[in-house]
Structure 1
Amino acid sequence: MSVRSSYEAGVPCWVDLSSPDVQASVTFYGEIFGWRAEMADDPAAGGYGQFVHNGKKVAGVGPIMGEGMPPVWNVYVATDDAAATADRVKNAGGSVVVEPMRIFDEGTMAVFQGGDGSFFSVWQAGNHRGAELVNEPGSFCWNELVTRDPQAAARFYTTVFGWTPKPTEMDGMTYTEWLADDKSIAGMIEMSPNYPEGTPSHWATYFAVADLDATMARAQSLGATVLIDSMDSPPGRFGMILDPQGAALSLIQLTETA
């Protein structure tokens, strides 16, 4: 389903960008995805805004909040109880980075670090239910854990969200799908030696595009750096870029929309 009004607990439901230059990011993503930014007027929102595509909320954007934090696309997993999730994180060997906090009447968020070192967020919906459009060009379509310790990650995320790992051997490597209620909701792959030394385990976001080559070329013309050139995968051709502000994201031209 592409148009969404709710998410089951344990399913990635939202992504947002932490940027060192929000206006520059708004301009860049407006150019490559056709997004329009709706920025919150309330100073208490901390400069946060939402990207809208075809009248639907698809992602968020805001300034980097912590000193020394890198530009990054953040992944949020839906939860019915952020506080209970925080307890499971602690019991599973993870840590709470931001305690559950209510965001106006929109919902409750929290930020955690997993047992493999990866950071992720959860969202307990209020008025804001999550992305209203997914799996179509101009929206996110997949989230993937790139980890240095797949075994630790499997133990941690299974305990916290009840996910079931489904590993598959592909071209000499193991790719793991995370299943929730027998539905594939995210992926996991062990970090390859091609990543720069010291790159931590992290969640990566894929955005669907109608024309991968054209989008990659447009992104480059606007100052993005290509990290992975266009290559084939079972869901479709994809590439990875570093946006002009330094945040990594993947672009994919899906063979079939979900």
Structure 2
Amino acid sequence: MRNPHGTPIWYEYHAADADRAQAFYERLFGWQVAPSGDVAGMDYRIVSTAGGEGVAGLMPRPHPDATPGWLFYVGVDDVDAAIATAQDAGGTMLMPPVDMDGVGRMALLADPEGRPFYVMRGAMDQPSRAFVTPPYDGPGQMVWNELTAPDQERALAFYARVFGWRHEGGMPMGPLGEYKFVHAGDTCLGATMPVLPDGVPGWLFYAQVDDIDAAVARVVEGGGTVLQGPDPIPHDHFSVVAADPDGARIGFVGTRSA
């Protein structure tokens, strides 16, 4: 999987209980989860849409004190150069680069405020479809990446150095600041926003669903909690932020059928 430099290539969930997380997300998004069989001694599961598109990995959290949650892999032209740039811009390396046969080269980094993310150069020419922009293939793919940052400009300056991202357009939120769209080349990846009252800093990822209200019902039925929404967004869609049974945040967007 090789994507243009600076675009998401994969997502990954670190679970307190991998079986419980698998059941929740299969129910919520209609995902199909199966063992990868590629990493000896590691419980790493591949998450795919009902249409067979690979979206993410699901694995037990690396150590018992780690917080359950979602991360993403961002495609780069050169992993080692991206590491050097990130460190020069104030980031840190959490996991040194590793090569996986048939998968690619990757490393785990953190931005200057400690938010973790992966950089990756895929081994295959075929691009990943884990993250898509309109028109969508169907439910279950990731469609928006949102960073809540105490200092938006500092955060964007870091990611601009590493990935070439830029702010272009946005939506004013009055005295709370501005919801600023983030682009890599011609692709709108998502947005950055300031930390709102009672807000949680960090990355939040949104998946596409067919019906927003049905997805909300599945969150509750699966033992999760709706934190915000459904809120109207452009193009007759609605957005929801939820927490899974372990408290990890996930977003989703979709239309309302009724």
Query: One fold, TM greater than 0.5?
Result: yes
- In the TM superposition, residue 86 of structure 1 has moved relative to its aligned partner by 0.3
Tell me what 1:190 maps to.
194
| Cα contact 1:208–1:254 (8 A) shared by 2 | no
- In the TM superposition, residue 125 of structure 1 has moved relative to its aligned partner by 0.3
| Cα contact 1:119–1:202 (8 A) shared by 2 | no
Alignment of 1:87-102 (within 5 A): 87-102=84-99
| Cα contact 1:116–1:152 (8 A) shared by 2 | no
Aligned: 1:109 with 2:106? yes
Aligned: 1:9 with 2:5? yes
* Amino acid corresponding to residue 121 of structure 1 in structure 2: Y
| Cα contact 1:120–1:203 (8 A) shared by 2 | no
C-alpha separation in 2, matches of 1:158 and 1:30: 34
Q: Report Cα offsets for 1:84-111 as digits up to 9, x if no partner.
A: 1000001111111111111232112211
| Cα contact 1:35–1:138 (8 A) shared by 2 | yes
Aligned: 1:72 with 2:69? yes
Percent of aligned pairs sharing the same letter: 29
- In the TM superposition, residue 131 of structure 1 has moved relative to its aligned partner by 3.6
Tell me what 1:212 maps to.
212
* Amino acid corresponding to residue 130 of structure 1 in structure 2: S
Q: Report Cα offsets for 1:176-218 as digits up to 9, x if no partner.
A: 11222243223111111122xxx4x311100110101111111
- In the TM superposition, residue 245 of structure 1 has moved relative to its aligned partner by 2.5
Matched pairs, number: 247
1:143 counterpart (129, 142, 145): 145
C-alpha separation in 2, matches of 1:85 and 1:163: 13
| Cα contact 1:75–1:143 (8 A) shared by 2 | no
C-alpha separation in 2, matches of 1:167 and 1:92: 25
Tell me what 2:242 maps to.
241
SS in 2 for 1:232: strand
Distance 1:220 1:94, change over 3 A: same
* Amino acid corresponding to residue 178 of structure 1 in structure 2: V
Greater displacement, 133-142 / 45-54: 133-142
| Cα contact 2:9–2:130 (8 A) shared by 1 | no
* Amino acid corresponding to residue 253 of structure 1 in structure 2: G
| Cα contact 2:9–2:131 (8 A) shared by 1 | no
- TM, length-normalised to structure 2: 0.88
* Cα RMSD for the two superposed structures: 2.0
Tell me what 2:42 maps to.
46
SS in 1 for 2:71: strand
- In the TM superposition, residue 156 of structure 1 has moved relative to its aligned partner by 0.6
1:130 counterpart (128, 131, 134): 128
Distance 1:169 1:51, change over 3 A: closer
- Gap runs ≥5 in structure 2: none
- In the TM superposition, residue 43 of structure 1 has moved relative to its aligned partner by 5.5
C-alpha separation in 2, matches of 1:176 and 1:29: 29
Alignment of 1:213-228 (within 5 A): 213-228=213-228
Distance 1:171 1:132, change over 3 A: closer
Q: Report Cα offsets for 1:203-256 as digits up to 9, x if no partner.
A: 11001101011111111011001111211122520111111122210010169x
| Cα contact 1:57–1:133 (8 A) shared by 2 | no
| Cα contact 1:212–1:253 (8 A) shared by 2 | yes
Greater displacement, 234-243 / 130-139: 130-139
SS in 2 for 1:93: coil
* Amino acid corresponding to residue 39 of structure 1 in structure 2: P
- TM, length-normalised to structure 1: 0.88
